[in-house]
Chains A and B, each alone.
Chain A
């Protein structure tokens, strides 16, 4: 903030006070205070689940807050729809860029407010205006007529910013903008941000990378469990240890079941060696013994989910082996992994695992139909009975196996996915974000269940964005950063601060 000319007057561009947003069963935002000044880069820090995304959605009018006030230029406003926010000059650039890839740069920039006369779009005018905007962003080399899909990720981001500016945005929210960029492109991005702030535009910058925050940020606000725990911190001077302490000191404690002692002679079930996929991850290796839980920690995009899906054969490995009970699995063959006793509870439960409109029992038996069939004919009575036993054991509610899975809560849906693999008596279970979308109460149940499964001799690989979860459940931990394993070791020997540090900066504190 020191380098840039902040307009005098000192009045805040945006002030949010006591913002509360409740979703049924969960208080996503619980008293957030935030003030943004003109021309500053305000960084938002917080763990996964701290409420950053919900806050952005409130800011852009996607969610209506239940309590609290929002002031823009000192005037109390209500942001009920995205259009309200846009009118007040608030724009957001999301992680997954919301551009139409088949339209041109200019068309994307002016999407929804095309320069037009008598209903006819004025192409040349749009192109000229787009070129000016791009030049203003220091990217005059991007041709307005180019199809957006052909641009690099960085170029697309610039287009996204041009779009925000074309709507006279005075506050731009950037949600992890560096996640899709390489280091050179990040430098570009920072130059653009500096230009913007020099013109008095405020930027809310969200990132997990502390080094970036130190370089570009002016002030920092830390969110934890839906509330502001600290605001107005100096982005350059605040010690890393202090930031991490603010982010991690939890108020909700999950109950993790005690670890069982791993038998000394437990056989190695899953071996992964030198596994690589270009641009996703490289040279990943680990082994898991029967009854052991291995945790993969890392940020979204660090390659953890990709590793899991490659082990499962849903992605084809470029190099490396996966062995189950000593037998090598052919790469890219889900069928073979399933046959060898591997099961996957994928990250996107609804789109990747469940048949939402089908009954619970059909979802459970889908991977072990052979057991209930003779000559291709299904014995659905036996199916229901077996599914019933499992749902009882896992305490799936509501009881009964005829409900469509769609009507179950997140936690119960996860239990159905687990039941599917339990029914196969699988040897290896790959769990990707097993508690995503699962409410607080049900989490403990899932944790106990995972533990119990391990105790019965299943080898488990667990991926989670929540460091606490990985450390609480796993026996051993692999920390991943940008596609590489940066640390491997027993879970007891490392704490949350160290993992976060590895994940964010690549070196232990």
Chain B
């Protein structure tokens, strides 16, 4: 009987479709421009740009030159860099219909593994590249485990990565004996702690990862498949996409980003520690979601994520500069998440409404 049901409901859809078609074909010029703007990548981020600009205005108004100085902007960017790279990886996983709660723990484990005495010895004897590749490998391997558990083990991502969160941090504690491991390889610290054309290497790394992430998501078959898998996994499977393999690749990508973030954190702190990356999963998810990526998958934006990260770090900076209370900042953070998501929904509704 379901045929009949579909039949009786389908005409509604038809009507909707035609109505939409009319609106598409014959809008007022202004409406068209607005709609085009809202539908375009820039449009989706209008709310974020407004939020960031407002924050900056507040920053300049309350802290003046202390906020607007080059040094302060670089401070914001350096802080944003580490969590930003994690968030880029998270954007892919969420767009692909998953979630990764283990990012912070993977950062910790990668930082610890890359700073063990053995790894450091190798780096001291040959090149710091050994430390970097250890961090990347550890991150990617954790991501592989996440991906296999989700795609082939059919464990819901929330649970699979929750297990990784506990497991990886525990392993990091065992490896480091809960001690902070100090990096004595100066070449490593010098390179990653330094600057290129006046901009810190860490910030360059963030820019590079963000740019690569944007290209990967928006300009490649990999990205297109990510949207397809996250939007409708069954349809993607029936269209001939290897959904399971792709899911694994997404989690590996997230793990790899955590490896990169671990290297950045190691450079920033000159240490590896099991306590690194605490609660990064929440910061990353918050940044990704206020950026406009759909938590249920199928829609994702790297630009939005970058804005999301910048909004949170700028907020932090403005509060610090103004000597405002710890608790007030948390309240503001919560408010921003709610307002940003509400705004996104309104804009999205306006963009798709006939």
* Residue ranges of A at the interface with B (Cβ–Cβ < 8 Å): 21, 23-26, 28, 48-54, 57, 63, 95, 175-176, 206, 300, 312, 314, 334-335, 337-339, 344, 346, 351-358, 362, 366-367, 369-370, 373, 376-378, 380, 397-398, 400, 403-404, 406-412, 420, 433, 436-439, 465
Contact = CB atoms under 8 A, between A and B. Distances in A.
A23 B9 contact: yes
A48 B4 CA distance: 6
26 contacts: A24-B14, A25-B14, A28-B7, A49-B3, A50-B4, A51-B4, A53-B8, A95-B2, A175-B1, A300-B2, A314-B238, A335-B242, A338-B239, A351-B234, A352-B234, A353-B235, A355-B228, A366-B241, A373-B220, A377-B219, A378-B224, A403-B20, A407-B20, A407-B21, A409-B13, A409-B17
A437 B7 contact: yes
| Interface-central residue, B25, B231, B238, by most chain A CB under 10 Å | B238
Interface in B1-35: 1-18, 20-21, 24-25
A410 B221 contact: no
Contact of B232 (A351, A369, A377): A351
B238 A334 contact: yes
A334 B237 contact: yes
Nearest to A355: B231
Given A176-B1, A358-B227, A465-B3, A353 B12 contact: no
A369 B240 CA distance: 11
B59 interface: no
Given A352-B238, A420-B239, A366 B224 contact: yes
Contacts of B222: 376
Given A356-B232, A437-B13, A378 B1 contact: no
B13 A410 contact: yes
Contacts of B10: 410, 436-439
| Interface-central residue, A24, A49, A380, A397, by most chain B CB under 10 Å | A24
Contacts of B232: 351, 354-356
A360 to B, nearest CB: 12
A355 B235 contact: yes
B299 interface: yes
> Which range contains the number of B residues in contact with the other chain?
35 or more
A355 to B, nearest CB: 5
Interface string B53-69: 00000000000000000
A377 B14 contact: no
Q: Chain B: interface secondary structure?
A: helix
Contact of B8 (A26, A367, A378): A26
A455 B9 CA distance: 33
Nearest to A27: B11
A206 B239 CA distance: 36
B236 interface: yes
A169 to B, nearest CB: 20
Contacts of A353: 235, 238-239
A166 to B, nearest CB: 25
Contacts of B16: 407
Contact of A355 (B11, B13, B15, B227): B227
A337 B241 CA distance: 12
A151 B17 CA distance: 43
Interface in B193-232: 215, 219-225, 227-228, 231-232
B227 A398 contact: no
| Interface-central residue, B24, B221, B236, B237, by most chain A CB under 10 Å | B221
A378 B235 contact: no
B70 interface: no
Given A300-B3, A356-B231, A403-B24, A314 B298 contact: no
A369 B238 contact: no
A377 B224 contact: no
Nearest to B352: A404
B332 to A, nearest CB: 32
Contact of A23 (B11, B18, B223, B235): B11
Given A397-B21, A436-B7, A439-B10, A352 B15 contact: no
B298 A357 contact: yes
Contacts of A376: 220-222
Given A351-B234, A367-B240, A54 B4 contact: yes
B162 to A, nearest CB: 22
Contacts of B4: 48-54
Contacts of A206: 1
Interface of B: 1-18, 20-21, 24-25, 215, 219-225, 227-228, 231-232, 234-242, 298-299, 352, 354
A145 to B, nearest CB: 29
Q: Which 6 A-B pairs have the closest CB atoms?
A: A437-B10, A338-B240, A24-B15, A53-B4, A398-B21, A407-B20
A344 B237 CA distance: 11
B15 A25 contact: yes
Contacts of A410: 10, 13-14, 17
B232 to A, nearest CB: 5
B240 A355 contact: no
A192 B17 CA distance: 46
B7 A26 contact: yes
A49 B235 contact: no
Contacts of B224: 362, 366, 369, 378
B206 to A, nearest CB: 23
Contacts of A352: 234-235, 238
A439 B14 contact: yes
Given A370-B221, A376-B222, A378-B219, A409 B5 contact: no
A51 to B, nearest CB: 7
Contacts of B231: 355-358
A436 B3 contact: yes
Given A24-B11, A373-B221, A334 B5 contact: no
A345 to B, nearest CB: 9
Contacts of B237: 314, 334
Contacts of B24: 398, 400, 403, 407
B25 A344 contact: no
Given A335-B240, A398-B24, A355 B1 contact: no
Nearest to B13: A410
Contacts of A406: 352
Contacts of A25: 11, 14-15
Nearest to B225: A369
B17 A26 contact: no
Given A376-B221, A410-B14, 6 more contacts: A26-B11, A300-B2, A334-B240, A367-B240, A377-B219, A437-B9
B244 to A, nearest CB: 11
A52 B1 contact: yes
B86 to A, nearest CB: 24
Contacts of A28: 7-8
Nearest to A25: B11
B12 A24 contact: yes
Nearest to A56: B1
Contacts of B5: 53
A397 B5 CA distance: 24
Contact of A412 (B6, B17, B220, B298): B17
A21 B5 CA distance: 13
A398 B27 CA distance: 14
A409 B14 contact: yes
Nearest to A440: B11
B221 A23 contact: no
Nearest to A433: B3
Contacts of B236: 355, 366
A176 B221 CA distance: 45
Contacts of B221: 369-370, 373, 376, 378
